[in-house]
A and B are shown apart, each in its own frame.
Chain A
Amino acid sequence: MTLIHHDLIFQNKSFQNNESALSFLADQLANHNFVKDSFKDAVLAREKIYPTGLPTGDIEIAIPHADSEHVNTSTLGVMTLASPVEFHNMGDPTTTLKVSIIIMLAIAEPHGQVTMLQKLMSIVQDQHHLNKMLTYTSKADLYADLTDTFKDVVLN
């Protein structure tokens, strides 16, 4: 079972706010049965209490997720935005960030997917890589990049 799925990658999407962006991406994960129908509400509720925007530099990113009970199969939903939407900062919810890339985490077992999370953080901490993800002109290139980045991640 691979982690990255072509159907869960979206480029240059436009949204008015983070709720609509999160709803869209969560719906895609649910439509493909990676998560339960309850996942979307759980993600939205969680984002309000424990926001997931990360102050990573010029290109800021959000890593929304929810409890494992809402997940069927671990995966990532990846979306680049045509223009940034505001997310609150995980480390200080009183501040907001302008997020250009959303990576939605579906993790089926608590404390699991250590390798996937480490690979994810290697992207998050690499502005050059984030910039590449934003500038790919075709979805095939973005898909190839993500597939290569996460190629060592084994799902049970």
Chain B
Amino acid sequence: MKKILVACGSGIATSTVARTSLEDDLKDRGINLKELSFTQTSIPQIPSIASEYDLIITTAKYTEDVGVPVINGLPFLTNIGEDAVIDKVIKALDLE
């Protein structure tokens, strides 16, 4: 089970959008979602829980090193560059 943490400024709105798009996109790529878990949080919470996850996706810019790969998920909101982000996610989680 690969664990993905999706974070936005307050953890109420854009992380929901990013998570939903991410799940849809991964499904479209033939990835079995049952092998993944998704958790939403706010960016200030990231450092205290990061070590429990395999990948972190943030809708806002996040540059702190928390020992886990971080991918910018803004394209899930704008749809611009979304495919490239999914490629990164698949690679980071070694899903292929």
Contact = CB atoms under 8 A, between A and B. Distances in A.
A114 interface: yes
B55 interface: no
A127 to B, nearest CB: 11
Interface string B6-19: 00111111111100
Contacts of B14: 63, 90
Given A111-B40, A117-B20, A125-B79, A65 B74 contact: no
Interface residues of A, number: 31
A68 B12 contact: yes
B77 A90 contact: yes
A20 to B, nearest CB: 21
B27 interface: no
Nearest to B79: A125
B78 interface: yes
Contacts of B9: 46, 49-50, 52
Given A90-B59, A117-B20, A54 B78 contact: yes
B16 A113 contact: yes
B88 interface: no
B60 interface: yes
A124 B80 CA distance: 11
A119 B53 CA distance: 29
Interface in A25-78: 46, 49-52, 54-57, 63, 65-68
Given A50-B60, A57-B80, A107-B13, 14 more contacts: A46-B9, A46-B10, A65-B13, A90-B59, A90-B60, A111-B12, A111-B15, A112-B16, A113-B13, A113-B16, A118-B20, A121-B79, A124-B78, A125-B79
22 contacts: A46-B9, A50-B9, A50-B60, A52-B9, A54-B74, A55-B80, A56-B78, A67-B10, A90-B61, A91-B72, A91-B74, A92-B61, A107-B13, A111-B15, A111-B40, A112-B12, A113-B13, A117-B13, A121-B21, A121-B77, A124-B77, A125-B78
Q: Return the 5 tightest CB-CB contacts between A and B, nearest first.
A: A50-B9, A91-B74, A125-B79, A110-B12, A50-B60
